[in-house]
Amino acid sequence: MSIGTSRQLPPPAAAEPEEVVADGSARPRAAARVRVSRAVTGAAAVLVVAALLLPDRVEHLRPVAFARIPVEAIAGTALLLVLGPRARRVVAVLAGVALGLVTLLNVLDMGFRSVLVRPFDPVLDWILLDDAEAFLGDSIGSAGATAVVVGAGVLVVLLLVAMALSVVRLGHVVVRHSAVAAPATLLAGTVWVACAALGVQVSGAAVAARGAADVVSGRVQQVRAGIADREAFAEESAVDAFRATPGDRLLTGLRGKDVLFVFIESYGRSAVQDPEMAPGVGAVLADGTRRLGAAGFSSRSAFLTSPTYGGGSWLAHATFASGLRIDNQQRYRDLTSSDRLTLTSAFRKAGAWRTVGIMPGVTRAWPEGRFYGLDHVYDSRNLGYEGPKFSWTPVPDQFSLAAFERLEHGRPGRGPLMAEIILTSSHNPWAPVPTMLGWDRLGDGSVYESVKEAGEDPKEVWKDPARVRTEYRRSIEYSLTSLVSYVEKYGDDDTVVVFLGDHQPVPTVTRDRLGRDVPVTIVARDPAVLDRVAGWGWQEGLKPGPDAPVWPMDAFRDRFLTAYGPAGGPR
C-alpha cells in the first residue's frame, strides 16, 4: 500500500425520510416527535385538570363543571416552579398519586350517593364493596362480576400511575418554560382570587374551584366526626331503661303468644305512596286486610324512619332491635360487641319463649345471632331449600315461611316462639320475582326452576328505570302476599306479627322522593294485644295512610317493651 493511499471509508448511511416544511427546510421525524410530545403533554394537562374538577355527584357531571379554575393547579404549579429537580420529582409523584386517590374517592362518592344517598366513608365502607360484588354477580353473572372487579382493579392502578406520570411531565414542562409559566401562574392566581371574592359563577357553578382541596378537607372532617360519633355513641348506649329489668317483668303482656318480627327487604314508603306503585301494592294490602279480617285478625299500621337508605339492611335491623340509631358500620360493630338488651334478646331473657331466626340471606357463619339472643338461626344452608337462587335472593319468601312452619312453628308439643324472619325476595335487583305456589307444592324448592326461567332477566330490567320500578313493585307484592297467606293459613289466637320494611329502595326506584320512612304493622287475633297499643294512634289495616304516625325506628324497642310490660295494660 502506497503512502498516498488510505483505507476507504464506508459510504454515509442513507438519509432518513425527510419532511419538507413550507420554507423548504427538512427535519427528519422531528416535527412528528414534537407533535406527539405536545399531544402527550396536552393529555396530561386534561387528565389532571379533569381530576381536579371532577364532581362527587352524578347529577353534577356536566360540561360546566369542567369550565372552572382549580386553585390546586395554580398552587401546584407555583410549588413546582420553586423546587429543585429531585424534590420536584418526589413532590410530583406524591401529588399525582394523591390526586388519583381523590379521583377514586369522587367516583366512589358518585356510586354511594346514587345508591345509598350518602358519600363513601373511607374508614367504614370498604365492607360494602363485597356486597356490591355480590350484587353484580346476581345482576350480570359471576363471570361478568369477576371481569368487572378485575377491570376495576386494573383501572385503579392505571389511574394512579397515569396521574403520577402526568404531574411529573407537567412539572418538567412548567420548569422548562418558567419564563412564561411564572407570570401565567401569577395571573391565574389573581383571576381565581377575584372570582372567589366576587362569587363569579357559570350555570350555578363557582368559577373559582377548590374541589380536590374540599375532598381532602371533607375526609379529614369525616374521620374526626367518626371519632366524635364513637364517643357520643358510647354515651348513648350507656343509657338503657330496660338493662336492669328482671326477666319475669319483661313482655308480660305477650306471655303464651308466638311473636314474629318480620322484615320485608326494601319495603319503603314509596311502595305505598308513589303514584306509580301504590295502586298495585295498595290493592295487595287491601286484599290482605280483608282476608286476615275474615280469619279473625286485626291490624294497626304506621311508619318508622330508617337510619339507612337503599341498602345496609343490618343497620336498620340493629336500630329496630336495640333502641339506638345505628347508621354506620362502626356503631354496628360497637353495638354487636356489647351486652345491650335487644328486642329479641328480651324474649330470651324473659325465659318464656324459644327464640329463632329465619335468615335466608345469610350464607355463612353469623356470630351476631348470639348478640340478638337467638337460640337457633336457620340460614340459607339449613332451610332445606334445593331450588335455584332468584338473583341475589337465595330462598324465595314463601319457602322461607314454609320452612319456619316445618322446622319450628308446626312442631307438635312446642312452647311459645319468638322469631325474627327476614323476607329477601324484595331485595334488589328485583328480578326474577318468584310467584305464589300452593303451600303443599313447595317440596324441597326444585319446583322453582321453571318459575325462575319464566321470570325477568335482571340484566335487561336494569337497562330501563321504569322496568326496575315495575319489578320492585312486583317483588313487594309477592313478599306481602306470601306473609298474608302464611298468617291466614297457619296463624291462630296466639299469633302476633310485627312486619316492617328495613329501608327505602335505591333512588332509581324512589327518584329521591318520600324520605326514609318504612311501613310498620302489628297483626293479632287476640284483641287484648292491640288494646295495649291503642294509645299509639296507629291506623287500622295493613296500609298506613300518608298522615299515619311516624316514629324514629330506634324509638320502637322501648315503646314496645313498655306497652307489653307490667305497666302497659289496655289504655
pLDDT digits (tens, 9 = 90+) for 153-204: 899 999 999 999 999 999 888 888 889 889 999 998 899 899 888 888 887 7
Residue 132 or 414, more confident = 414
| pTM, to two decimals | 0.79
- Tell me if 489 sits within 8 A of 531, measured CB to CB: no
pLDDT tens per residue, range 91-128: 999 999 999 998 998 888 888 887 777 888 877 777 67
Neighbours of 156 (CB within 10 A): 15
Mapping DSSP onto H, E and C, the string for 279-313 reads: HHHHHHHHHHHHHHHHCCCEEEEEEEECCCCCCCH
Q: 507: closest CA among 342, 266, 213?
A: 266
The model's confidence at residue 31, banded by pLDDT at 50, 70 and 90, is confident
- Tell me if 168 sits within 8 A of 91, measured CB to CB: no
Q: Identify residue 184 by its one-letter amino acid code.
A: A
pLDDT tens per residue, range 454-505: 999 988 999 999 999 999 999 999 999 999 999 999 999 999 999 999 999 9
For the four alpha carbons of 388, 393, 399 and 400, in that order, the dihedral sign comes to positive
Q: What's the confidence (pLDDT) of residue 137?
A: 65
d(CA 377, CA 401): 14
Residue 17 or 489, more confident = 489
Residues 6+ apart with CB under 8 A from 197: none
Q: CB-side exposure of 186: number of CA atoms within 13 Å?
A: 5
d(CA 257, CA 110): 47
Q: What's the confidence (pLDDT) of residue 7?
A: 43
Containing 423, the helix (H) or strand (E) segment is strand 417-423
The whole-chain average pLDDT of the chain stands at 89
Place of cell 327487604: 265
Instruction: Give mean pLDDT, residues 434-450.
Output: 96
Residue 33 or 453, more confident = 453
- Tell me if 497 sits within 8 A of 491, measured CB to CB: yes
Share of the chain above pLDDT 90, in %: 60
d(CA 264, CA 267): 6
Place of cell 401546584: 76
Q: 405: closest CA among 440, 370, 363, 367?
A: 440
22 has pLDDT over 60: no
Check residue 356 and report its DSSP letter: E
pLDDT tens per residue, range 223-263: 788 788 888 999 999 999 999 999 999 999 999 999 999 99
222 has pLDDT over 90: no
Q: What's the confidence (pLDDT) of residue 131?
A: 65
533 has pLDDT over 70: yes
Residue 128 or 394, more confident = 394
Q: What's the confidence (pLDDT) of residue 3?
A: 41
Q: Identify residue 515 by its one-letter amino acid code.
A: G
pLDDT tens per residue, range 292-348: 999 999 999 999 999 999 988 999 999 999 999 999 988 999 999 999 999 999 999
Q: 510: closest CA among 110, 57, 61, 116?
A: 116
Check residue 525 and report its DSSP letter: S
Q: Identify residue 492 by its one-letter amino acid code.
A: D
